[in-house]
Amino acid sequence: QFVLHERDVQLAAVRRGLGAVIPLGVLSLLTASEFELLVAGSGDWNVSNLKKQAIVSTPRGGEDQRAAHTAAVEYLWQMLEEMTSEEKALFCLFARGSSRMPADCAGVKLKLEH
C-alpha cells in the first residue's frame, strides 16, 4: 500500500502546477505525444515554418550589398533544408539554447541581419 501511494504528494503538486498553466479539462484531451510536443517542442522541424517566422533585414547600401545579403540568406535556407534531424537539433541548440523547436516554429523569431 505504501509503495502504491508513496508519490501521491509529489504527483498532486505536479497536477496543481500543470492545472495553473493548462486547464486540466483540456489536458485530459491530449495524448502523451501531443502533450510532449506542446511542452518540449519538436526535434524534427520544417524549414518552411521557420522561414515564415524569420525577420530578414535589408542592408543599407548599394545593390551589390543587397544582392550579396539575399544570396547569403538563400544559402542559409538551402543548408537548413539539407540538414539531417541531428544537424537541425545542433543548429537549434546553437541559435536557441534548446535542441528542439516549438510546434510549427510558433513564436520563434529568427532575425537575419547584414
Lowest mean pLDDT among 9-13, 15-19, 67-71: 67-71
Closest CA to 44 of 95, 97, 79, 80: 80
| pTM of the predicted structure, to 2 decimals | 0.65
State residue 61's pLDDT score.
Answer: 67
- pLDDT band, residue 16 (cuts 50/70/90): very high
